[in-house]
Amino acid sequence: MDLSKPGTPSVAPRLAERVVFAGVVGAMLPFLHFGWALLGAVLADESQCGHFGCLGPFAEAWETGRWLVPVLAWPLLGLLRVRPAWHVALVAPLFLVPLWELSAGPEVLFGVLSTVLAYPFAALVTAPGASWRQRGLGVALFLMFCGALAVSG
């Protein structure tokens, strides 16, 4: 979509829609993650209790799901018309990993819900037609948020 042609929608309304829908996908992903871990625990061999105790299969599926769920984000982003969806799906883990590392302590719930923050930031940074100023602002806001988390934790 070339936004410089007359008659095409401006970047601002489309950008807001893109960020909101990416947040909706981010809100769905923890449910998929939990479902994946639950499925892994149910299908695992019960006689196999690892170093996590009898929660071993759930914990192992949880760790695997951390990397599987961002892959599932791509079709969800496409369904909600966040285009190009693969840009957001590839960049979002770059925002997710610092949030996961900063929330490794008692704020485990925040670690799960970090997708609600990471996907909108990724949508903002990868938005077609967005200026470098908007992209830089998105990265700067994210880094300020991470800095605040690091200082408070």
* Plot region of 109 (φ>0 → left; ψ -120 to 50 → alpha; else → beta): alpha
Helix, strand or coil, per DSSP, at residue 152: helix
Question: How many whole angstroms separate alpha carbon 80 and alpha carbon 22?
Answer: 8
pTM: 0.79
Q: Which residue has the tokens 């961002």?
A: 70
Tell me the per-residue pLDDT of 38-60, one tens digit each, with 9 for 90 and over.
887 777 766 655 555 566 677 77
Q: How confident is the model at residue 2 (pLDDT cuts 50, 70, 90)?
A: very low
For 53, phi then psi, to 5°, come to: 80, -150
Find, among 134, 137, 121, 136, the residue nearest to 87 by Cα: 121
pLDDT tens per residue across span 87-105: 999 999 999 888 888 876 5
Tell me what pLDDT residue 83 has: 86
For 102-127, write each residue's pLDDT tens digit.
Answer: 876 545 666 677 889 999 999 999 99
What is the crossing angle of helices 132-152 and 115-125, to 10°?
150
